[in-house]
A and B are shown apart, each in its own frame.
Chain A
Amino acid sequence: MSAAVSPGMAEYFASNPDLRYILFGGKGGLGKTTLSAATAHWLARRGKRVCVFSTDPQASLSDIFERKIFGQGEVELASNLFAVEIDADRRIAEYQEEIRNKIKDMYKMETIPEEVEDYINSSAAEPAMAESATFDAMVELMTAGKFDYYVFDMMPHGHAIRFLGMADILDQWVEKIVTVRKKAGEYGEAATVMGNKGSLVQEDLVLKELEYIRGRLDFVSTMVRDRKHTAFFYVLVPELMPILDTRKALEMFREFNVTVSGVVVNQVYPKELKDQTDVPGFLKNKISSQQEYVHQIQNEFGGLIRGIVPMLDREPKGLQMISKVADILYGA
């Protein structure tokens, strides 16, 4: 049912054979998860080992695949098809415990000093904490390199942009921190050489941690800009707000030097319905208004449209329905 669409999804994959990371962004509730799942399904069907990952805090891969995926690690759904849904809270709790143990180990402490404990606890309440934990899990999954393709169902766009912005800003910060740390080390060393004072035991360890943090951030900011290996699709529906949101997102991504590979128009009512006599006026109005917006989308994002997916008569749940969406999006 795909209308006159400039190079569709399947063509895009065919002309970019080195793709590894497929990202789906867009406002909440427009079907990012469905399209991510469908893409993963299509790739798996073609014999590729695929992992679909949700970075959305309201992750719903579990609902779509009708399997318990949340917090279960890499769950195999079909041959070659795996899904991961991060339990950010649990990950944070484990991470905090790891830090506590490290402190106890390093200083042979029985209990953590109160102010340190307070700090560890309050850090979990930070909203950025869940994002960072998910971000970290995402990088971990990608660097492990167990799959041919990684399909990411990104968080709604505001978050996604922050996600990208964060990597850049942090990268610069870490750079500065490393400089300060190295300078401190030099002065300490001078003091040690001259007067046998100060110790440098932890210097290297701190720098190593900083390098680790930077490595993680660099990976993501390089990945999202690497058009050879990464494709970034934006999902919208023919309504005013999603169009405005997409326009804004494309502008913002441009600012971050991220090129959007295409947009997918989802949940489009079949326009043939309008000509049927038994269709109520309510629905006919909805279809007319959608068609106007479809035209607007074609005018505004024309060359970027990679697919138009109709509204289905049933919720796209379960492998069979996902497979059907994949057929629509990529051609059977």
Chain B
Amino acid sequence: MGKKEEPKEPKKQSEVSKAAKGFFYGMALHGMVTYALRLRMHMENLFMLITMGDMLGIPVLPPYYSLRLLPYAVPSLKTWKQTLLRDRDITDSLY
């Protein structure tokens, strides 16, 4: 959010407009943005499951092709596994 969008304006004003923008964003858009991001997360998880499923023992796409997609999945691997295996993580930690 806090990115300057009107570079021509003097710096003093930008503080005010930033605050106003933040206020407006919080009132009107924040909920929608969070909702969109959450939906995206679910879609992302689904995508990870059908492509990298065999990491969790659910073979879906033959590994030859999932390997092609692996590089793009690297940043989300950890969070995805944690999301899907949350319950098991707790029991695991008991042992």
User: Chain A interface (Cβ within 8 Å of chain B)?
Assistant: 95-96, 99, 102-103, 106-107, 113, 115-116, 119-120, 123, 126, 128-129, 132-133, 136, 166, 170, 173, 176-177, 180-181, 183-184, 187-188, 190-191, 194-198, 202, 205-206, 209-210, 212-213
Residues of the B chain whose Cβ atoms lie less than 8 Å from the Cβ of A119: 52, 55, 70
19 residue pairs A–B, Cβ–Cβ below 8 Å:
A96-B67, A103-B70, A103-B71, A106-B74, A113-B74, A116-B70, A119-B52, A123-B63, A123-B64, A173-B50, A180-B46, A180-B50, A184-B43, A187-B43, A188-B37, A195-B33, A197-B37, A202-B72, A206-B69
Residues of the B chain whose Cβ atoms lie less than 8 Å from the Cβ of A128: 62-64
Q: Which segment of B10-18, B24-32, B87-95 sits at the interface? A: B24-32
CA–CA, A198 and B48, complex, Å: 17
Majority secondary structure, A binding face: helix
Residues of the A chain whose Cβ atoms lie less than 8 Å from the Cβ of B55: 115, 119
CA–CA, A108 and B74, complex, Å: 12
Contact B67 A95 (CB under 8 A): yes
- Name the one of A113, A116, A184, A210 contacting B40, with C-beta atoms under 8 angstroms: A184
Of residues 50 to 67 in B, which have CB atoms within 8 Å of A's CB atoms? 50-52, 54-55, 60-67
Residues of the A chain whose Cβ atoms lie less than 8 Å from the Cβ of B37: 187-188, 191, 197-198
The smallest C-beta distance from B53 to any residue of chain A, in angstroms, reads 11
Contact B25 A198 (CB under 8 A): no
The smallest C-beta distance from B84 to any residue of chain A, in angstroms, reads 14
User: Chain B interface (Cβ within 8 Å of chain A)?
Assistant: 1, 3, 25, 29-30, 32-33, 36-37, 39-40, 43-44, 46-47, 50-52, 54-55, 60-72, 74-75, 77-78, 81
The smallest C-beta distance from A188 to any residue of chain B, in angstroms, reads 5
CA–CA, A120 and B3, complex, Å: 39
Residues of the A chain whose Cβ atoms lie less than 8 Å from the Cβ of B50: 173, 176-177, 180
Chain A residue with the shortest CB-CB distance to B3: A196
Residues of the B chain whose Cβ atoms lie less than 8 Å from the Cβ of A209: 68-69, 72
Question: Which of the listed residues A184, A196, A198 has the most CB atoms from chain B within 10 Å of its own CB?
Answer: A184
- Name the one of B46, B60, B74, B81 contacting A103, with C-beta atoms under 8 angstroms: B74
Chain A residue with the shortest CB-CB distance to B5: A196
Contact B36 A191 (CB under 8 A): yes
- Name the one of B25, B44, B62, B75 contacting A126, with C-beta atoms under 8 angstroms: B62
Known A-B contacts A195-B1, A195-B25; the reply to A133 vs B33 at CB < 8 A is no
- Name the one of B43, B61, B63, B71 contacting A183, with C-beta atoms under 8 angstroms: B43
Residues of the B chain whose Cβ atoms lie less than 8 Å from the Cβ of A187: 36-37, 39-40, 43
Question: Which of the listed residues A166, A173, A195 has the most CB atoms from chain B within 10 Å of its own CB?
Answer: A195
CA–CA, A166 and B64, complex, Å: 12
Residues of the B chain whose Cβ atoms lie less than 8 Å from the Cβ of A196: 1, 3
The smallest C-beta distance from B55 to any residue of chain A, in angstroms, reads 6
